[in-house]
């Protein structure tokens, strides 16, 4: 299971970014982050995000331990 989220800040010890930095291991699946949630209504941007997400899913084993991946 992958976590798909919008780009967020890293303020505070309980922020997602701080949690990734603290808890990530070499066998952990990455958190997938949409770089610009505001643009998701744009068809070209949405297609680009979907294409990159599909690529990540096809090769998920090679992304273990990376912490975070951004789409597109």
Domain spans of the chain, in order of start:
3-71
Q: What is the pLDDT of residue 37?
A: 93
Q: What is the pLDDT of residue 22?
A: 92
Give 10-residue mean pLDDT values along the chain (72 residues). Answer: 84 83 95 94 96 96 95 90
Match 């982050």 to its residue by tokens.
Answer: 33
**C-alpha angle with apex 11: 27 to 17, nearest 5 degrees?**
10
* pTM beyond cutoff 0.85: no
Could you give the CA distance from residue 59 to residue 1 in angstroms, rounded to a whole number? 14
37 Cα distance to chain centroid: 12
Give kind and range of the element (H or E) at residue 1.
none
């Amino acid at each position: 299971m992958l976590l798909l989220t919008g780009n967020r800040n890293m303020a505070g010890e309980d922020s997602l970014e701080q949690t990734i930095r603290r808890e990530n291991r070499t066998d952990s699946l990455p958190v997938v982050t949409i770089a610009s949630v505001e643009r998701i209504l744009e068809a070209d941007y949405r297609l680009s995000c979907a294409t990159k997400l599909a690529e990540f899913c096809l090769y998920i084993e090679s992304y273990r331990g990376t912490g975070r991946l951004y789409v597109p």
